[in-house]
Structure 1
Amino acid sequence: MPAPRTPRRVASVIRLRPEHAERYRELHRAVPGPVLDALSRAHVTNYSIFLRDHTLFAYFEYTGDDYEADMAAIAADPETQQWWTLTDPCQQPLDSAQPGERWVTGAELFPLY
């Protein structure tokens, strides 16, 4: 029996526009089921978003075999695209983001398993 694979741990950050902070909180009190389903189909688990000083920090674990394909499937999902039309105006990418990049991924410096 093969040993269980350690999930890929993904952390990313983006700024929260202060004038949209309450709207963003409100949206995340009731994330649409189809958006959650798209994440599950793409092997995203243990997903959390944290807030501190107008910075959003997201963490999730990826348990699939093809990260790029699964992330592309999320991006292609019509319900998720609609969700992003609501959440994107609340966010401001960091100065270090590349053109067109929103959430920027952080490098894992210390894992404790």
Structure 2
Amino acid sequence: MRRYCLTLDLIDDEKLISEYKQYHLQIWPEITESIQSAGVEDLEIYLLGNRLFMIMEVNDTFSFEEKSAADMANSKVQEWEMLMWKYQQALPRAKPGEKWLLMDQIFKL
């Protein structure tokens, strides 16, 4: 099992952040299916202010490239991503089109 940590910012607006949190109380079943079918075994998202932190544990079949290609071909995932972009904003170091950025582990006990 591999673990990845990613980060992204939300637009710093209390109303929008509240709406974003509500969507994540009951994500669409198609989104859950797309995550699990890609080989993601566990996924958690944490929030501090407007900064999101995602911990993703994946099995040996997981590939970021394959997940991205499957997401691009899935109209429901594209609909979800467009909806979520209403609340999200790219980090300053993100390249055009990048959302969640992979973090480097710098310490482990």
Task: Calculate the TM-score normalised by the size of structure 1.
Answer: 0.84
**Per-residue displacement from partner, 1:48-86 (whole Å, max 9, x unpaired)?**
110002101111011133502133213432111111121
The CA distance in 2 between the partners of 1:13 and 1:74, in whole Å, is 19
Aligned residues: 106
Please say which of residues 71-80 and 18-27 is displaced more in the overlay.
Answer: 71-80
Q: Which residue of 2 aligns with 1:33?
A: 29
Q: Which residue of 1 aligns with 2:3?
A: 9
Q: Which amino acid aligns with 2:103?
A: G
The CA distance in 2 between the partners of 1:75 and 1:62, in whole Å, is 20
The CA distance in 1 between the partners of 2:20 and 2:85, in whole Å, is 9
Q: Which amino acid aligns with 1:9?
A: R
* Runs of 5+ unmatched residues, structure 1: 1-6
1:43 matched to 2:39? The reply is: yes
The CA distance in 1 between the partners of 2:11 and 2:62, in whole Å, is 33
Q: Structure 1 runs of 4+ off > 6 angstroms? A: none
> Percent of pairs identical after alignment?
27
Task: Calculate the TM-score normalised by the size of structure 2.
Answer: 0.87
Greater C-alpha Rg: 1
The CA distance in 2 between the partners of 1:93 and 1:77, in whole Å, is 22
